[in-house]
């Protein structure tokens, strides 16, 4: 067969990007080549996200664009993978431009599905029929796929994401993840550590362990039950790995102290904890099926700060959840002020099919109010981030360099020799400075000379 070109686009979270990396490797291994341009592509592959309606709309409008292109190039194969594929299945296949619909669990079949579609121009759907009932054989196949292709994620030099667990069992009432990613399945520690070791051999310095609630990682093997802290400890022993991060955490008592202990005792474990609160109102937290109160959550953050001095904490909030009054929102503002996050992500509630919130509650907060609350929270957080970032002024920071900045913050005219580089600290602060592109994937020391709420600006030491 001729060399075939694939254009791949990712629409979602870090888990989605990790899946994209696996698929990219699998397709390269099967003899495909990658292209940045849709015009050259024999195959266009979209990895989709279902977490908010907006994410799905972006995919649908992209499919709309592709249908214009396909009018002149009917042989082009369009493949939709990921959560939206799992959620919509056959319905997505009805879209005239789509050739392949492939769920997250079916990714190991991707090269075969694409090859067949190119040859036979047929439409295929491969998704899990009963998403909450995992099939042992399928999990095994996936594990082999992941171990084989999870070795050279080169999106950001020197960094890799490694899945610790699949799925979610929490059933937060707003969240679609349990319905598209299935139940929690923890990967064997051996597979995870083996993968990290190989990544280290390939020059990876920072590994981020991923799970929908990675702090709940639990794997029983003989007498021993492994938790996230055990993974962090084993990964710390791997030569070449310098920084370990993990996302995301569900506020929970179980394993919390163990994780904090790992953070304070193991130098490679970065002092960064992303632990979403979602709301500061106990009434809304109950309606969200989050099993804690605002006061308990703040107590948890205090414990983290006592155990790990200098820890950077990040969070997520949803504004405009059904029934959220001004009083509830004020409680969220209050929590946000007390939490003093290094940064946080704020989302407007988006009703998702199948979730309990969508089935039982009316999406009764008008769009303008969601928007106003969103802006207000961002402003409160902006002020906090600004204060926290100023503490770095005049200090030296160790950073891991990602690569040239896409935006030009300053001195963009310095030329190719010293382009503007983006990097991050262990606490996940973004640091921008001018330096040689060859630093991408390496650590550097930078003096912080200017700050903004989200970005620190420095000069290389």
Stretch that binds ligand SAH, among 18-26, 66-74, 75-83, 349-357 (CB under 6 A): 349-357
Figure out which of the listed residues 318, 339, 377, 401 binds ligand SAH, where binding follows CB under 6 A: 318
Figure out which of the listed residues 206, 212, 271, 281 binds ligand SAH, where binding follows CB under 6 A: 212
The two beta strands, 33-34 and 159-163, are unpaired
Q: Which is nearer to ligand SAH, 83 or 93 (CB)?
A: 83
Stretch that binds ligand SAH, among 147-155, 292-300, 347-355, 375-383 (CB under 6 A): 347-355
Q: Does residue 340 come out as left (phi exceeding 0), alpha (psi in the -120 to 50 range) or beta? A: left
Provide, rounded to whole angstroms, the least separation between the CB of residue 243 and ligand SAH.
Answer: 20
Figure out which of the listed residues 350, 381, 405, 434 binds ligand SAH, where binding follows CB under 6 A: 350
Q: Which is nearer to ligand SAH, 217 or 392 (CB)?
A: 217
Residues 453, 239: Cα–Cα separation, whole Å: 35
Longest Cα–Cα distance in the chain: 64
Provide, rounded to whole angstroms, the least separation between the CB of residue 351 and ligand SAH.
Answer: 7
Q: Which is nearer to ligand SAH, 51 or 446 (CB)?
A: 51
Q: Which is nearer to ligand SAH, 16 or 271 (CB)?
A: 16
The CA-based dihedral angle spanning residues 116, 120, 121, 123, taken in that order and rounded to the nearest 10 degrees: -60
The two beta strands, 420-424 and 430-434, are antiparallel
> Hey, how many other C-beta atoms are within 10 angstroms of the C-beta on 428?
17
Peptide bond into 248 cis (omega under 30): yes
Provide, rounded to whole angstroms, the least separation between the CB of residue 254 and ligand SAH.
Answer: 16
Q: Which is nearer to ligand SAH, 262 or 365 (CB)?
A: 365
Please count the residues of this chain forming the interface with ligand SAH, following the rule CB under 6 A.
16
Residues 392, 441: Cα–Cα separation, whole Å: 23
State the DSSP string of 262-314: HHHH-TTB-SEEE---B-S-HHHHHHTT--S-HHHHHHHHHHHHHHSTT-EEE
| 352-371 positions binding ligand SAH, by CB under 6 A | 352
| 46-105 positions binding ligand SAH, by CB under 6 A | 51-52
| 162-181 positions binding ligand SAH, by CB under 6 A | 168, 174-175, 177
276 binds ligand SAH (CB under 6 A): yes
Stretch that binds ligand SAH, among 28-36, 63-71, 346-354, 359-367 (CB under 6 A): 346-354
The two beta strands, 77-82 and 43-48, are parallel
| Alpha helix (H) residue ranges in 30-152 | 53-72, 83-88, 90-93, 110-120, 136-149
Long-range contacts formed by 54-62: CB under 8 A, 24+ apart: 54/350, 55/11, 55/12, 55/84, 56/84, 58/11, 59/11, 59/84, 62/9
Q: Angle, to 10 degrees, between the axis of helix 326-339 and the axis of helix 294-307?
A: 10
Provide, rounded to whole angstroms, the least separation between the CB of residue 347 and ligand SAH.
Answer: 3
Provide, rounded to whole angstroms, the least separation between the CB of residue 13 and ligand SAH.
Answer: 6
Provide, rounded to whole angstroms, the least separation between the CB of residue 155 and ligand SAH.
Answer: 19
Figure out which of the listed residues 347, 392, 429, 433 binds ligand SAH, where binding follows CB under 6 A: 347
Figure out which of the listed residues 116, 316, 334, 442 binds ligand SAH, where binding follows CB under 6 A: 316
CB neighbour burial string for 287-314, b if at least 16 within 10 angstroms, e if fewer: bbebebebeebbebbeebeeebeebbbb
Provide, rounded to whole angstroms, the least separation between the CB of residue 318 and ligand SAH.
Answer: 5
Provide, rounded to whole angstroms, the least separation between the CB of residue 350 and ligand SAH.
Answer: 4
Q: What is the DSSP letter of 187?
A: P
> Hey, how many other C-beta atoms are within 10 angstroms of the C-beta on 354?
12
Provide, rounded to whole angstroms, the least separation between the CB of residue 110 and ligand SAH.
Answer: 23
Q: Which is nearer to ligand SAH, 6 or 15 (CB)?
A: 15
**Within 13 Å, how many C-alpha atoms sit on residue 261's CB side?**
10
Please state, in angstroms and as integers, the Cα–Cα distance from residue 278 to each residue in 155, 175, 334, 385, following that order: 30, 11, 13, 18
278 binds ligand SAH (CB under 6 A): yes
State the DSSP string of 363-389: --S-HHHHHHHHHHHHHHHHHHHHHHH
Q: Which is nearer to ligand SAH, 86 or 278 (CB)?
A: 278
Q: Which is nearer to ligand SAH, 243 or 317 (CB)?
A: 317
Provide, rounded to whole angstroms, the least separation between the CB of residue 315 and ligand SAH.
Answer: 8
161 binds ligand SAH (CB under 6 A): no
Residues binding ligand SAH (CB under 6 A): 51-52, 168, 174-175, 177, 212, 248, 276, 278, 316, 318, 347, 349-350, 352
């Amino acid at each position: 067969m001729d060399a075939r070109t694939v254009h791949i686009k990712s629409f979602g979270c870090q888990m989605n990007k990790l899946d994209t990396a696996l698929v990219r490797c699998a397709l390269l291994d099967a003899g495909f080549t990658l292209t940045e341009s849709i015009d050259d592509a024999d195959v266009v592959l979209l990895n989709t996200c279902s977490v908010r309606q907006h994410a799905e709309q972006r995919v649908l409008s992209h499919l709309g664009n592709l249908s214009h292109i396909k009018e002149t190039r009917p042989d082009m194969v369009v493949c939709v993978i990921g959560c939206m594929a799992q959620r919509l299945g056959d319905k997505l296949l009805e879209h005239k431009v789509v050739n392949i619909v492939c769920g997250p669990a079916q990714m190991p079949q991707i090269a075969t599905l694409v090859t067949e579609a190119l040859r036979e121009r047929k439409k295929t759907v491969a998704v899990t029929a009963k998403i909450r009932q995992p099939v042992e054989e399928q999990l095994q196949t996936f594990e082999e796929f992941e171990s084989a292709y999870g070795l050279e994620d080169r999106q950001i030099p020197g960094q890799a994401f490694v899945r610790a667990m699949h799925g979610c069992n929490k059933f937060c009432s707003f969240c679609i993840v349990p319905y598209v990613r299935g139940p929690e399945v923890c990967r064997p520690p051996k597979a995870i550590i083996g993968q990290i070791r190989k990544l280290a051999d390939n020059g990876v310095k920072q590994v981020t362990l991923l799970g929908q609630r990675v702090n709940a990682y639990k794997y029983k093997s003989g007498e021993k039950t492994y938790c996230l802290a055990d993974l962090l400890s084993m990964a710390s022993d791997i030569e070449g790995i310098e920084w370990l991060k993990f996302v995301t955490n569900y506020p929970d008592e179980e394993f919390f102290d163990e994780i904090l202990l790992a953070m304070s005792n193991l130098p490679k474990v970065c002092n960064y904890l992303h632990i979403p609160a979602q709301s500061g109102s106990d009434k809304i937290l109950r309606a969200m099926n989050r099993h804690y109160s605002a006061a308990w959550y703040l107590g948890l953050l205090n414990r983290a700060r006592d155990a790990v001095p200098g820890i950077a904490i990040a969070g997520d909030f949803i504004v405009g959840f059904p029934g959220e009054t001004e009083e509830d929102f004020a409680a969220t503002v209050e929590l946000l002020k007390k939490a003093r996050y290094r940064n946080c992500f704020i989302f407007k509630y988006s009703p998702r099919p199948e979730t309990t919130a969508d089935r039982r509650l009316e999406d009764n907060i008008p769009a303008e109010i969601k928007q106003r609350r969103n802006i207000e929270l961002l402003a409160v957080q902006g002020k906090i981030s600004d204060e926290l970032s100023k503490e770095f002024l005049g200090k030296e920071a160790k950073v891991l360099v990602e690569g040239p900045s896409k935006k030009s913050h300053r001195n963009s005219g310095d030329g190719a020799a010293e382009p503007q580089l983006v990097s991050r600290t262990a606490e996940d602060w973004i640091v921008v400075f001018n330096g040689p592109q060859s630093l991408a994937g390496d650590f550097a020391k930078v003096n912080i000379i200017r700050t903004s709420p989200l970005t620190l600006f420095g000069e290389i030491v």
